[in-house]
Amino acid sequence: MIRLSVRCASALALLVLSASVFQAAAQQQVPVAPAQEPSAPAPAASAAPQFPKPDPANFSASVPSKETVNDFLQTSWGYDDTRMWQVQAILKTPVEGISKVVVYVGDKSGKQKPFALQFFTLPDGKHIIADTDIVTFGAHPFADVHATLLQRADGPYRNSSSKDLELVEFADFQCPHCKEAQANMDKLVVDFPKARIVFQNSPIASLHPEAVIAAAYGVCVTKQGGSTAFFQYAAAVFDGQDGLATPDGATLTLNSAVTKAGLDPAKIAACAATPPVQAQVDASVKLAAELGISSVPTLVINGRQVSATLPYGTLKQIIEFQAKEDGVTP
């Protein structure tokens, strides 16, 4: 058996995003994990790392296959052409149906020190345990989330009515990181005119009680003025986000935003107080929870979850890659 040390980093972030900034730049619905110990300084640029040849004795499990693991990593990491990896082991464990997978990961430029990543595949063949998280696994790990959102993402949208490339932003009007993400979202509207870019309410009531009211207002603005009015309203709410700190300030901020969207604040307030609108906001929050979205802002790209506050170049690169994976012209 091989013995490998695992780099002190979030396996989930590595597998899903290849970037720890996902958790760092998001508003959490759960307490933030303790800070990770600092990594060592990156070495000077050198040649790409040479991984040791895998030992056949370390492939004692029949599932998953090496091909399935590689397909999963290609889907997860393929957008980054500097990343390289090698499946080093797929081992049986004492628990029937659970296999331990070990992967060596490196950087083709040699600037980053190679490390070993391990995770456990579960008996259903569709999930893995990575660090403390359960992550969807397989050659098409985002398909189920994509299918769910095609049916249930019902928020206002910009650009195309086609759902071939659907970008669903889960956001909270009172979340500072969500406000920050709007610059990225506005750029995406320009750069991806063929995408359907949806805003899905995900207020975190325990942290931001006024965000729930702002979400209800947004639902009513959409009902009475359509998507165009909603995004005018949303921009005004984010611009005046500091006003949501108190109930009285929220009333003034939301009424002002409604007026900027060309609608009547009194009518929107009356609409927002109705049970069906409150139920619609609750349903959107429930949808986020069912998809495992525990932080905002999260952008879901044809089922693939990333932080909407990633550096714009990286975000655009991931979208283009996912579109290509799905056979879509972005």
Task: Indicate the residue among 138, 165, 200 that finishes a domain.
Answer: 138
Q: What is the pLDDT of residues 224-261, one digit of tens each?
A: 999 999 999 999 999 999 999 999 999 999 999 999 99
Whether residues 178 and 232 fall in one domain:
yes
Range of the domain at 197: 144-325
Q: What is the pLDDT of residues 28-87, one digit of tens each?
A: 443 333 333 344 444 445 688 999 999 999 999 999 999 999 999 999 999 999 999 999
Q: Give me 160's structure tokens.
A: 């195309």
Alpha-carbon distances of 265 from 220, 246, 262, rounded to whole Å? 10, 18, 9
The answer to whether position 284 is within a domain reads yes
Q: Is 199 helix (H, G, I), strand (E, B) or coil?
A: strand
Residue 309 is part of a domain; what is its CATH number? 3.40.30.10
Whether residues 227 and 101 fall in one domain:
no
Q: Is 136 helix (H, G, I), strand (E, B) or coil?
A: strand
Please indicate whether residue 16 or residue 204 has the higher confidence score (pLDDT): 204
Q: How many CB atoms lie within 10 A of CB 3?
A: 6
Q: Over 90: is that where the pLDDT of 17 sits?
A: no
Q: What is the pLDDT of residues 281-311, one digit of tens each?
A: 999 999 999 999 989 999 999 999 999 999 9
Task: Indicate the residue among 138, 167, 202 that finishes a domain.
Answer: 138
- Number of domains observed in the structure of the chain: 2
The answer to whether position 281 is within a domain reads yes
Q: pTM here?
A: 0.85
Whether residues 65 and 122 fall in one domain:
yes
Query: Whole-number mean pLDDT of the chain?
Result: 88
% pLDDT > 70, the chain: 86
The answer to whether position 3 is within a domain reads no
Whether residues 302 and 156 fall in one domain:
yes
